[in-house]
Amino acid sequence: MRLTVRCLCLAALLAPAASAAQVEEHWYKWTGRQGDTGCFHVLRKQTANASAPILLVHEFEARVDGKRLSLTLTTACRADRYLTPVRIISEAGRGPERSRVFATIVWKKTRTGAVGRLCTTVQGEEKTMVLPQGTVMMFALFEVVRALPFEKGAELKFHSLDATGLKLMRDHVVRYAGPETLRIGDREVKTHRFQHTGPQVQPAQYWVTERRRLIRVLIDGAKEYLLTTRAIARATLD
């Protein structure tokens, strides 16, 4: 199957991936249903120490209804298939109106599996919530899907955590949908497509290259994240 998308930066798509001991970052251009645009920056820091947490920084900026919105999520994760979160910092807005929420998650083993206890303070009030084993941060799925096998029948069952609203959505799944060729400008790029479905979530599709680059995400057939350069991604806000 072939699919054509606009070319934003071929070099960003075909450059070799960073090693496990380096900092890796990707920039995406975001387009919304109503023509809103923005940029999404993913930063991953991982040391050569296998026991050290992986640090993920997700920065989202967009113009929606004429207003400029921003959100930054910094998450320390375990180096497992779910990138299990252990510490989260959520920062929304800019300047004096910027709000910041810090949360820690302590995981304990039980007879039926690990259980996490998320603790945070919102406007001076302490809040807690219980997380089941196999919980994935919502934006961390951008990284999780890159590591899934390119095999028929491959899937990952998980629970999605929206840290901005402290909302847990259970029983989600990402399945391998098969190979697909994307046309980027005058080049064809071989990719593998994954499908994400589950209760309380809009269906999404992810395209990953042979070199494990996530180059396109499409949510509900209308909201798109497309891999590009920093300059092009930032220009969408001006």
Dig out the tokens for 197 from the structure.
């479905």
Report which residue type is found at 20: A
Q: Please give the pLDDT value at position 117.
A: 96
Domain limits for position 101: 2-235
Span 194-209, average pLDDT: 94
* Three-class secondary structure of residue 62 per DSSP: strand
Q: Please give the pLDDT value at position 197.
A: 96
Give the separation between CA 216 and CA 227, rounded to whole angstroms. Answer: 6
Burial of residue 226, with CB atoms counted within 10 A of its CB: 0-12 exposed, 13-18 middle, 19 or more buried: buried
| More reliable by pLDDT, 109 or 112 | 109
Q: Please give the pLDDT value at position 93.
A: 80
For 101, phi then psi, to 5°, come to: -125, 130
Alpha helices in 64-192 (DSSP H): 141-144
Give the separation between CA 135 and CA 30, rounded to whole angstroms. Answer: 25
Number of domains making up the chain: 1
Q: What is the pLDDT of residues 37-74, one digit of tens each?
A: 899 999 999 877 767 789 999 999 988 777 888 999 99
Bridge partners, 122 (sequence order): 125
* Three-class secondary structure of residue 235 per DSSP: helix
CATH code of 225's domain = 2.40.360
Closest-CA residue to 177 (of 157, 151, 201): 151
Question: What percentage of the chain carries pLDDT values higher than 70?
Answer: 90
Q: 4-8, 76-80, 90-94, 163-167 — which is least confidently predicted?
A: 4-8
CB 113 within 8 A of CB 56: no
Q: Please give the pLDDT value at position 11.
A: 46
* Three-class secondary structure of residue 158 per DSSP: strand
Rg (CA), the chain: 18
Q: 75-79, 163-167, 202-206, 217-221 — which is least confidently predicted?
A: 163-167
Q: Please give the pLDDT value at position 50.
A: 65
Give the separation between CA 98 and CA 67, rounded to whole angstroms. Answer: 15
Q: Please give the pLDDT value at position 13.
A: 42
Give the separation between CA 79 and CA 96, rounded to whole angstroms. Answer: 35
4 pLDDT band, cuts 50/70/90, is: low
